[in-house]
Amino acid sequence: MKTLAEMDYSVLQQCMHCGMCLPTCPTYDETKLERHGPRGRIALMRAVADGEIKVTRAFGEEMYYCLGCQACTTACPAGVDYAALLETARAEVERQGILDTPKRDAIRWLALSLLFTRPRLLRLVGRALRLWQTSGLQSLARRSGLPNLLPPSLRRLEPQAPAIRAKFSHQLIRPVEKPAAPARRVAVLTGCVQDLAFSEINRATVDVLLANGCEVHTPPVQPCCGSLHAHNGDLATARLLARHQLDLFNPDDFDAIISNAGGCGSHLRAYGHLLRDDPAYATRAAAWDRKLKDIHEYLVEIDFRRPSAPQVSGLLPQPSPTITYHESCHLFHGQQVSAQPRAILRALPGVELRECAEAQWCCGAAGIYTITQPDTADRLQTRKTGHLLATGASIVATANPGCHLQLENGLRSAATAAAAPTVTHPVVLLARAYAAE
């Protein structure tokens, strides 16, 4: 694992200090302090690489105050690879252990080393959570005031936990599904949070691929993609999980490998870079990167069939429903997929797509940012939900489970229950439009 001092120095010195990234950076916008913006953070990383400053606690906290939203990368005229810099800087913070505390270590071990490396165990925990949520125990605990005994950080998070689905992806999707005369062969990645909390999005992804002539392979047990690990300084586990993915899916067997989650997809399409020094996997990882596609990107690439139903049923309550679209940072800034989800939404019969202000501004979800930086995450959530509600749309479409949850929670508290728009994924709407034909 390379340190900041060992990494390619040309990446570190690429910043020309122009400041064009600053107005796009949500954390700089919060404080207007140089160190809370990309230019300041890059200067800090370079100072560490040059041996001018040490990796201190303040440095570590700064690296985790960053959302990792990559808005600065889109804005940067010099092509600074901020994502690579941040990944290396956080890995160095973890290697030196400067933020370590018994509580933080325990949480990291539980999440990064235990749960998000064992998909069967994660599903077991999901089942237990579902039981808690649906058996009446959760509401009983809430009525009795039990959550008040929790530490403040957990008490705040308790109502925001995702509603676990009754069925996970492997109970909704067969390992191989094919239309009458398949023209393409694809694999679908079901994810971790998506599998537990939004398995219907995975089902809809398979449905739209089938409707467009694809034979779809969906292994019932899939490893985590490793994005959570890479974004939190655990590159060794991220590499291990990438190897597991490559063992499960041979890219040569498929026309495309499909991701429907912005945050996962942005990491998944960089396996070539992650495993570039691994002689056993480097070639396969490079082939994987070429095959990895976001679902919207792939549907537009194969010129998806436009649905012909007069109206999409179920999710669209009004005669002429209005939809607005929130861009997942890692789908837009990380994968440059922005026009394609809109092309899908515009293809829905009888629907108006109404743009919201700051559609590309981070909603504050940012992986585990709601846990590590709750106050900033709250302010970003409020700012986002205000813009979404101002459109008057009855549906908010987005394509990342973290954003999905953050928007649902924000809209639930900002709007009255009756007025809160439904949050969903563009492929769910497309699948419904096909089903309504």
Provide, rounded to whole angstroms, the least separation between the CB of residue 358 and ligand SF4: 13
Closest by alpha carbon to 193, among 406, 401, 405, 408? Answer: 401
> Quick one: which H or E segment has residue 423?
strand 422-424
Strands (E), 178-276: 184-188, 214-217, 256-259
> Quick one: which H or E segment has residue 105?
helix 102-108
Provide, rounded to whole angstroms, the least separation between the CB of residue 437 and ligand SF4: 41
Q: Which is nearer to ligand SF4, 85 or 235 (CB)?
A: 85
Q: Which is nearer to ligand SF4, 245 or 370 (CB)?
A: 370
Tokens representing 67 are 């959302």
Interface region with ligand SF4, contact rule CB under 6 A, candidates 17-25, 98-106, 252-260, 308-316: 17-25
Binding residue (CB under 6 A) for ligand SF4 from 1, 5, 18, 128 = 18
Tokens representing 420 are 């809160």
Q: Which of residues 22-81 bind ligand SF4 (CB under 6 A)?
A: 24-27, 38-39, 41-42, 66-72, 75-76, 78, 80
Provide, rounded to whole angstroms, the least separation between the CB of residue 203 and ligand SF4: 32
Say which residue the tokens 């063992």 belong to.
247
| CA 102/CA 199 separation, integer angstroms | 34
- C-alpha of 341 from chain center: 15
Q: Does 345 bind ligand SF4 (CB under 6 A)?
A: no
Provide, rounded to whole angstroms, the least separation between the CB of residue 259 and ligand SF4: 20
Tokens representing 296 are 């919207």
Binding residue (CB under 6 A) for ligand SF4 from 16, 124, 131, 390 = 16
Binding residue (CB under 6 A) for ligand SF4 from 11, 15, 189, 209 = 15
Provide, rounded to whole angstroms, the least separation between the CB of residue 228 and ligand SF4: 16
DSSP bridge pairs for 256: 186
Contact between residue 69 and residue 52 where contact means Cβ atoms under 8 Å apart: no
Closest by alpha carbon to 104, among 293, 199, 234? Answer: 234
* Rounded alpha-carbon distances, angstroms, from residue 384 to 95, 256, 359: 35, 33, 8
Interface region with ligand SF4, contact rule CB under 6 A, candidates 19-27, 106-114, 288-296, 391-399: 19-27
Q: Which is nearer to ligand SF4, 14 or 56 (CB)?
A: 14
- What's the per-residue H, E or C state across 23-61? HHCHHHHHHCCHHHCHHHHHHHHHHHHCCCCCCCHHHHH
Provide, rounded to whole angstroms, the least separation between the CB of residue 95 and ligand SF4: 21
DSSP bridge pairs for 185: 215
Q: Which is nearer to ligand SF4, 17 or 143 (CB)?
A: 17
Q: Which is nearer to ligand SF4, 8 or 105 (CB)?
A: 8
Number of residues counted as binding ligand SF4 (CB under 6 A): 27
Q: Does 97 bind ligand SF4 (CB under 6 A)?
A: no
Provide, rounded to whole angstroms, the least separation between the CB of residue 22 and ligand SF4: 7
Closest by alpha carbon to 407, among 325, 331, 352? Answer: 325
Closest by alpha carbon to 322, among 395, 378, 252? Answer: 395
Q: Which is nearer to ligand SF4, 74 or 133 (CB)?
A: 74
Binding residue (CB under 6 A) for ligand SF4 from 10, 17, 143, 303 = 17
Provide, rounded to whole angstroms, the least separation between the CB of residue 107 and ligand SF4: 22
Provide, rounded to whole angstroms, the least separation between the CB of residue 262 and ligand SF4: 14
Tokens representing 183 are 């023209």
Closest by alpha carbon to 30, among 317, 379, 315? Answer: 379
Q: Does 82 bind ligand SF4 (CB under 6 A)?
A: yes
| CA 259/CA 38 separation, integer angstroms | 28
* Site for ligand SF4, rule CB under 6 A: 15-21, 24-27, 38-39, 41-42, 66-72, 75-76, 78, 80, 82
